[in-house]
């Protein structure tokens, strides 16, 4: 089997988008106090689709959501020429070739996102060639079903958040995650508002449901240290991305207090990046995203390394490329799940682009063992709602 062609498409949502209210979600831009909504910087209304076609007519599908127009150029101009006519079963060699060829600019960020999208497509292709789901190629099932947590609960008003949290309980979820809305520039009043968010969700769901909270890189170390004792009474399962990803020392300091487990890694890249985090004892939970971290080829290595450190892996963002890694790893106790909603931040766009994503039932998802590869197809009809760049 040889790689015949690699097709890339950027799909930009052109339909209606729900507005983002003030204090919707903290983020790194908040510290700059710009007049426009800071969260717009972190909206993902464009998506990259990658299709790797073999000479026997099989097509593997990958995707990425970070800077899709630029990521497409990296694939088209730097990665595609390396892969044409190659044997996709040499997937480790192909990953190393892409990585080393782009070393000067691609170790992290956009370059690694491009490699991730291609690598995911290659694994999908291999699964289809083998007539097996990808998780089987990674070692097989380690659990009957995958427990998932409902991930939304943006700061949209206390009453709305209480109602939303109770809906998730009624739907059978045993865990859910909220987003903070205030950060360092909002002072002590903002800290009180953040505590109100957590208190509201905890009171809505009771003590038998795991609650997690995400600062999305929007706090400083000083602010996070002040927030920890205020949040401790609510027994959070974890505090996510309390500081920017480059502040490894800050993560390690927060973890060292032992007050609330610390989660992160959504914006870290490759096995080497996670080796640094693990050696620094910086995280209680690892949250790489497979379509950023280096694809499935890197995700499986990081999962194995984390297991040696007894640090659970719960990938960011759900989606099939993450679910297959979770299914194949005993060290991944659950997965994130974005409920289908109207287009908002853009995290939900994969529901509009692909067919085959599993729906949660009673707080679990399952992967169909009769579907080869990742089990996804592209919803070409719904792509009519997008502006497509090829």
Residue 197 is predicted with a pLDDT of 98
Residue closest to 148 by CA, chosen among 128, 167, 173: 173
Token pair for residue 221? 């170390």
Span 15-72, pLDDT tens digits: 999 888 999 999 999 999 987 767 878 888 999 999 999 999 999 999 999 999 999 9
Q: What value does the mean pLDDT take over residues 259-287? A: 98
Span 176-232, pLDDT tens digits: 999 999 999 999 999 999 999 999 999 999 999 999 999 999 999 999 999 999 999
Rounded to whole angstroms, the Cα distance separating 34 from 313 reads 35
Strands 46-54, 238-240: parallel, antiparallel or unpaired by DSSP? unpaired
Residue 324 is predicted with a pLDDT of 98
3-class secondary structure, 250: helix
- Please name each of the domains of the chain with its CATH number: 3-131+380-389 (3.30.390.10), 137-378 (3.20.20.120)
Residue 116 is predicted with a pLDDT of 98
Rounded to whole angstroms, the Cα distance separating 353 from 378 reads 6
Q: What value does the mean pLDDT take over residues 148-155? A: 97
Residue 302 is predicted with a pLDDT of 98
Residue 35 is predicted with a pLDDT of 74
Residue 181 CB partners (closer than 8 Å, separation 6+) = 23, 24, 25, 26, 154, 155, 193, 194, 197
Residue 41 is predicted with a pLDDT of 80
In the chain, what percentage of residues exceed pLDDT 90? 95
Rounded to whole angstroms, the Cα distance separating 79 from 102 reads 9
Model confidence at 245, in pLDDT bands (50, 70, 90)? very high
Residue 42 is predicted with a pLDDT of 86
Q: How much is the pTM?
A: 0.97
Rounded to whole angstroms, the Cα distance separating 53 from 60 reads 6
Rounded to whole angstroms, the Cα distance separating 41 from 28 reads 10
Token pair for residue 61? 């599908």
Q: Which residues are marked as active site?
A: 316
R_g of the chain computed on alpha carbons: 20
Rounded to whole angstroms, the Cα distance separating 372 from 134 reads 7
Residue 31 is predicted with a pLDDT of 94
Span 306-364, pLDDT tens digits: 999 999 999 999 899 999 999 999 999 999 999 999 999 998 999 999 999 999 999 99
Residue 38 is predicted with a pLDDT of 72
Mean pLDDT of the chain: 97
Helical residues (DSSP H) of the chain, grouped into ranges: 68-74, 80-83, 91-101, 103-106, 110-130, 134-137, 158-170, 187-205, 221-231, 248-256, 270-279, 290-293, 295-308, 320-327, 350-353
Residue 54 is predicted with a pLDDT of 98
CB-side exposure of 114: number of CA atoms within 13 Å? 27
Residue 106 is predicted with a pLDDT of 93
Rounded to whole angstroms, the Cα distance separating 26 from 38 reads 8
Q: Is the pLDDT of residue 297 over 80?
A: yes
Task: Report yes or no: 76 and 8 within 8 Å, Cβ to Cβ.
Answer: yes
Task: Report yes or no: 375 and 368 within 8 Å, Cβ to Cβ.
Answer: yes
Burial 307-337, CB ≥16 within 10 A → b, else e: eebebbbbbbbbbbbbbbbbbbbebbebbbb
Rounded to whole angstroms, the Cα distance separating 251 from 256 reads 9
């Amino acid at each position: 089997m040889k790689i015949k062609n690699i097709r890339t498409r950027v799909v930009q949502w052109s339909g209606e988008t729900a507005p983002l209210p003030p204090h919707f979600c903290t983020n790194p831009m908040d510290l700059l106090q710009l007049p426009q909504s800071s969260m717009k910087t972190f909206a993902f209304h464009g998506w990259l689709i990658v299709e790797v076609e073999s000479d026997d007519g099989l097509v593997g599908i990958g995707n990425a959501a970070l800077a899709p127009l630029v990521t497409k150029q990296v694939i088209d101009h730097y990665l595609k020429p390396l892969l044409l006519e190659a044997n996709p079963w040499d997937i480790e060699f192909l990953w190393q070739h892409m990585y080393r060829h782009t070393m000067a600019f691609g170790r992290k960020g956009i370059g690694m996102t491009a490699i991730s999208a291609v690598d995911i497509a290659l694994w999908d292709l291999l699964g289809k060639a083998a007539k097996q789901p990808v998780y089987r190629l990674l070692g097989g099932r380690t659990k009957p079903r995958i427990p998932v947590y409902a991930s939304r609960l943006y700061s949209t008003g206390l009453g709305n958040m209480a109602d939303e949290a109770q809906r998730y309980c009624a739907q059978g979820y045993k865990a859910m995650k909220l987003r903070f809305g205030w950060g360092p520039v909002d002072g002590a009043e903002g800290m009180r508002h953040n505590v109100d968010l957590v208190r509201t969700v905890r009171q809505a769901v009771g003590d038998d449901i795991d609650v997690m909270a995400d600062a999305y890189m929007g706090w400083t170390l000083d602010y996070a240290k002040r927030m920890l004792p205020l949040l401790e009474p609510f027994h959070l399962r974890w505090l996510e991305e309390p500081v920017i990803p480059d502040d490894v020392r800050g993560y390690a300091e927060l973890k060292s207090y032992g007050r609330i487990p610390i989660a992160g890694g959504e914006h870290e890249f490759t096995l080497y990046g996670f080796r640094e985090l693990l050696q620094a004892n910086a995280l209680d939970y690892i949250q790489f995203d497979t379509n950023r971290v280096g694809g499935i080829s890197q995700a499986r290595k990081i999962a194995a390394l984390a297991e040696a450190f007894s640090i659970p892996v719960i990938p960011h963002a759900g989606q099939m490329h993450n679910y297959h890694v979770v299914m194949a790893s005993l060290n991944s106790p659950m997965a994130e799940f974005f409920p289908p909603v109207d287009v908002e931040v853009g995290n939900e766009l994969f529901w509009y682009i692909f067919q085959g994503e599993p729906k949660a039932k009673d707080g679990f998802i399952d992967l169909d063992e009769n579907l080869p590869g990742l089990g996804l197809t592209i919803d070409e009809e719904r792509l009519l709602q997008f502006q497509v760049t090829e």
